[in-house]
Amino acid sequence: MTAETSETSPLMAALMLFCRERAIAAAQARKELEVNELDAKAILYIATHAGARPSELAGHLRVTSAGVTTMVERLVRRGILRREADEADRRVSHIHLAVSLDEEPWSQLTRFHDAFRAVVSQLDSEVERELAVFLTHATLTARDEIDRSATGATSAA
């Protein structure tokens, strides 16, 4: 067992440490920026999907269209997001960041990710590829198992 967790697997302990430290960094950033978890997820999504439609954001966040409308409006009023009308269809809007995640204070949202990426970039490319293949396989297998269990539990009820 590791001192940090009750895990006997060094890999599981390392993954739990990563998740915990990422969550701590995210919570600190949200507190400093005065945004909630869903707001932060929306900001990060729009950072990589500039011009997304509200329906795309709602689908990504798994919230209702009314919920995403309320959230976007709140973030627009705070000057964090901005809406642009679609030139071809004025009924459609596209969401963009009005802040830069490369600059303080907003860079706090990506600070842990950026620091971790820098460490990963130092790995041998073959080691990185093998780790990526393994972690992707393990993650998707676990997700599929949970989905099967949920489906089985639902159909048995």
Dihedral pair phi/psi, residue 2, rounded to 5°? -90, 160
Which among 119, 117, 53 has a CA at the least distance from the CA of 85? 53
Q: 147: Cβ–Cβ under 8 A, 6 or more apart, which residues?
A: none
pLDDT above 70 (res 41): yes
This prediction has a pTM of 0.81
Q: How far is CA 138 from the centre of its chain?
A: 19
pLDDT of 2 reads 53
The DSSP line for 101-125 is TTSTTGGGGTHHHHHHHHHHTTS-H
pLDDT of 57 reads 97
pLDDT above 70 (res 1): no
The DSSP line for 134-147 is HHHHHHHHHHHHHH
Which tens digits make up the pLDDT trace of 53-107?
Answer: 999 999 999 999 999 999 999 999 999 999 999 888 888 999 999 999 999 999 9
Which tens digits make up the pLDDT trace of 101-132?
Answer: 999 999 999 999 999 999 999 999 999 999 99
